[in-house]
Structure 1
Amino acid sequence: MNNYKKIVSTVGTGAVLLALYTGVQAADPVKVGLLLPYTGTYAALGEAITNGMKLAIEQHGGQLGGRPVEYVSVDSEANPGKAVPNMQRLVDGAKVDVVVGPVHSGVGMGAVKVARDSGVPLIIPNASFNAATGPLCAPNVFRTSFTSWQTAYPMGQVAVDKGYQNVVTLAWRYSAGTESVEGFKEGFEKAGGTISKEIYVPFPDVEFQSQLTEVAALKPDAVFVFFAGGGAAKFVQDYAAAGLQGKIPLLGAGFLTEGTLAAQGKAAEGVLTTLHYADSLDTEQNRSFREAYRQQFGKEADIYAVQGFDTGLLLAQSLKKVAGNTDDRAAWIAAMSQERIVSPRGEWTFSKAHNPVQNIYLREVRDGANQVVDTASTALADPATGCKL
């Protein structure tokens, strides 16, 4: 014990832990399980998250806590029905130390169940369903992305500040759509606004004519919507084609214009969205990240790459603090809980429920780009309703 104290005073606790750990497992790789979509509609998201995460780890010497890294990938196929067996392949079969995923909220429900039962850390780099850091929260479940509430709630105050008192909402009827509408509604009504009608479209329908006709007849001050991907591209085009662009302002959670602007073209001009990132953020961290990503992968980074990058930062920073000891989950989880991530999106920390406390930016489409015009909410924490941590 005296020798131990002497070493601590000379080189520090972290180095001692690493020395003690070296004989046990330090030469073995940290096994990082990836439960992400690599085929199908969401394949590009899975690729971007993976790229971003690996870039962050490479920038930390290609190791985690002084140990090499082994990636074990399972294609989630964005299929909720395969979520539990796919998680079990990683946790029970491959014996991974941590799981990163998923993208799809339906898959997330199954992933969280297995994580809670097994105790294996789960880091969610996209799926936004509120329950993961709400009623289903757990000490070993972390999110490096956002909740549906978080990216919609601030738009309520923005709408009122712009003089919009009467708003119609329009969204797909599935978890991301309904939760986003509820988040906007909470913020809007709290600020004094009134939702005159909530309109839903079956997911994943992309025929919007009857709903747009109804919006035109209602003549609200503005419309708040949630659509993403190809559905968002078509909706914005149809909105303009119906003669509503420039007449009834269009507001949305940021995914309305994220990765869709090229397809939307001039129809997207003037659309306002709220999101925790924008390509145009003028910070040194964002500029250096985007340049490194461009050089490494030959393409532009997006929000999904940022969320993957921050996942890599979380792994690198927390495992450095515990000297790579993944066996002591309690110490590792405590280290993750306390991390401050200096991200391309801006610095953020974890809430008690392990959701990012982060800035939400107000963006306007100008000349075919999402330009940051303001910070809609600074250091916004999700309320984590139902979380018992």
Structure 2
Amino acid sequence: MTPWLKLTTLAALAGMAGLAHAQAKPPLKVGLMLPYTGTYASLGNMIENGFKLYVQEQGGKLAGREIQYFKVDDESEPSKGTDNVNKLIKRDQVDVLVGTVHSGVALAMAKAARENNTLLIIPNAGADAITGPMCAANIVRSSFSNWQPGYAMGIVAGQRGIKRAMTITWNYAAGAETVKGFTEGLEKGGGKVVKDLTLPFPNVEFQALLTEIAAQKPDAVYAFFAGGGAVKFVKDYAAAGLNKTIPLYGPGFLTDGTLEAQGSSAQGLLTTLHYADNLDTPRNNAFRKSFALTYKANADVYAVQGYDAAQLLAAGLAAAKGDLDKRDVITAAMRKTVVDSPRGKFSISPAGNPVQDMYLREAKGQNNEFKAVAVKALADPARGCKM
């Protein structure tokens, strides 16, 4: 080979290498804003683990993009929501936000995402307004609206002959909205809620309210608590002897991820949710096995929601071939996809919320076991959404 030809060949190879380098996409920056301390810490960890498990199953990339994670502890504190989300949007300049658990914090995240046109995937918080008046093309949810499991349990309670019910929850958005859903479902079956009881989040001093329930003697009680609050409420309800005379119902969060700590107090409790631990499908069985092998723990609904948040992101990115500049393509694809979830296949409504089966489950041992489909393909009404 002549010196001239050798130089030409080397130059061509260098040019090709430079072109390949130029075409290589930078890592996708994913901002995880979740609770890593406090009442909801275990929920935040399960969501993160579920999200990362799906990415790991794809070889660590989505649509050819490496994933770079940035994390902020939201402390389940709405007053810090705006400052915390801006750490991810403005300081870290993330491409995608994933969060959170607490509905009050999620409302602050959704407001910031709208203002900055940042893609937001919500893997838990069910605040109705996010897929209602605050709905936006760049916001989708992989979980539920607060209305959905509440409405489903109201339907079940009506079918079980409940005419007079009381509700009890923390006095914040998630509590108020799930109670509203339950009331709507119960009234459809001819029943009514005679009294709503509330206490400040994250207060767990239930005794005075349990005394009031005992005095009122309703046909049933509908309770919304999660995490450590759910553990204490269920144990206190049983310790007061109320579980022997007044059935306790709730959305699945009352017993999800809490059964071991609740012990015998939770056994037999009926809840409604979009997931049951023992759904005997190839998809769920494979997911639970993979999760257990990876994290040495059993998956729960929070892990499923994190896993499906990654699936939604993957569907959007695949349609855009990993090009984040094609925002309209990404958001449209996320709404058109049918997610092959461990919970069962679900679609996304125009407002950005899952349209999904709601299951009636019973607490048995360490599992929330499937009993029946409470409501098939339940869609959130998305009241106030205008897009």
What is the TM-score normalised by the length of structure 1? 0.91
1:133 corresponds to which residue?
A: 131
Contact 1:151 1:180 in 2 (8 A): yes
SS of residue in 2 equivalent to 1:123: strand
How far did residue 115 of structure 1 move?
A: 0.7
1:46 is aligned to: 44
Alignment of 1:219-234 (within 5 A): 219-234=217-232
Give yes or no for the alignment of 1:322 onto 2:320: yes
CA offset digits 1:213-260 (Å, max 9, x no partner): 222222221111112222221221222222222311111111111122
Cα distance between partner residues in 1 of 2:49 and 2:241: 40
Instruction: Provide the rounded CA distance (Å) in 2 between the counterparts of 1:381 and 1:26.
Output: 40
Identity %: 53
Tell me the equivalent position of 2:241.
243
In structure 2, what is the Cα distance between the partners aligned to 1:336 and 1:326?
Answer: 13
Gaps of 5+ in 2: 1-18
Match of 1:289 among 283, 287, 290: 287
Counterparts of 1:12-91 in structure 2, within 5 Å, are: 26-91=24-89
CA distance in 1, matches of 2:58, 2:286: 15
**Considering only CA atoms, is the larger Rg found in Structure 1 or Structure 2?**
2
2:40–2:228 contact (8 Å) kept in structure 1: no
Instruction: Report if aligned partners of 1:135, 1:385 keep a CA contact under 8 Å in 2.
Output: yes
Measure how far apart 1:205 and its partner are.
2.2
Q: Name 1:261's counterpart in structure 2.
A: 259
Kindly indicate whether the alpha-carbon contact (under 8 Å) linking 1:219 and 1:248 is maintained by their aligned counterparts in 2: yes
Could you say what secondary structure the match of 2:271 adopts? Answer: strand
- Give the drift of 1:143: 0.7
What residue is the counterpart of 2:336 in the other structure? 338
Contact 1:60 1:316 in 2 (8 A): no
In structure 2, the residue corresponding to 1:245 is in which secondary structure? Answer: helix
> 1:266 touches 1:368 (CA, 8 Å); kept in 2?
no
Amino acid at match of 2:190: G
> Could you tell me whether the CA contact under 8 Å between 1:364 and 1:372 is conserved in 2?
yes
Q: Against the structure 1 CA distance between its residues 239 and 43, is the aligned structure 2 distance closer, same or farther, given a 3 Å change threshold?
A: closer
| C-alpha separation in 1, matches of 2:199 and 2:89 | 37
Deviation at 1:120, TM superposition (A): 1.2
CA distance in 2, matches of 1:203, 1:91: 27
Q: Is the 8 A contact 2:120 2:140 kept in 1?
A: yes
Change (3 A) 1:27 1:184: same
The 3-state SS of whatever aligns with 2:355 is strand
The alignment's TM-score, normalised by the length of structure 2, stands at 0.91
List gaps (5 residues or longer) in structure 1.
1-20
> 2:189 maps to which residue?
191
Would you say the 8 A contact 1:26–1:66 is kept in 2?
no
CA distance in 2, matches of 1:209, 1:44: 26
Name which of structure 1's ranges 60-69 and 120-129 shifts more when overlaid on structure 2.
Answer: 60-69
2:197 counterpart letter in structure 1: I
CA RMSD of aligned residues (A): 1.7
Q: Count how many residue pairs are aligned between Structure 1 and Structure 2.
A: 369
Whether the aligned pair in 2 keeps the contact of 1:269 and 1:368 (CA below 8 Å) is no
State the shift of 1:23 in Å.
7.6
Contact 1:159 1:188 in 2 (8 A): yes
Q: C-alpha distance in 1, partners of 2:282/2:355?
A: 20
In the TM superposition, what whole-angstrom CA distance separates every residue of 1:113-142 from its partner, at most 9, and x where no partner exists?
A: 111011111001111111111111111011
Q: Rate the CA distance shift 1:307–1:25 in 2: closer, same or farther, 3 A.
A: farther
Which has the higher mean CA deviation after the structures are superposed, 142-151 or 86-95?
A: 86-95
